[in-house]
Amino acid sequence: MELLFARNELNDKPKKVQLEKIKEDLAKVKDKIFYFDRDNSHKDMMALVDSLEEEGYNVYFREIKYGLADEEYMYEVHAL
């Protein structure tokens, strides 16, 4: 599965990341917060959460609004 990290600037394109890379990062650190772009589908985000929970992580997922417009949000995934 391929996901998009959150943009650093509004005009930037989001960077792509594979699910396996996320799991490798967590194997090294054990506790990490990831921010994902709004262009990811909610279905893909739930698949990420399910996949990490199957690996034994406790996962906290939420949408973060950073502006007043409907499209001004990102996803936060905190894996412990």
- Please report, in tens digits, the pLDDT of each residue of the chain (80 residues total): 999 999 988 888 999 999 999 999 999 998 999 999 999 999 999 999 999 999 999 999 999 999 898 889 999 999 99
Q: What is the domain extent for residue 18?
A: 2-7+14-79
Separation of alpha carbons 44 and 64, rounded Å? 17
Per DSSP, 17 falls in state E
Q: What global pTM score does this model have?
A: 0.91
- Count the domains in the chain: 1
pLDDT at 9: 87
Separation of alpha carbons 72 and 47, rounded Å? 22
pLDDT at 30: 86
pLDDT at 19: 95
Backbone conformation region of residue 78, classed left if phi is above 0, alpha if psi is from -120 to 50, else beta: beta
Separation of alpha carbons 80 and 49, rounded Å? 12
pLDDT at 34: 97
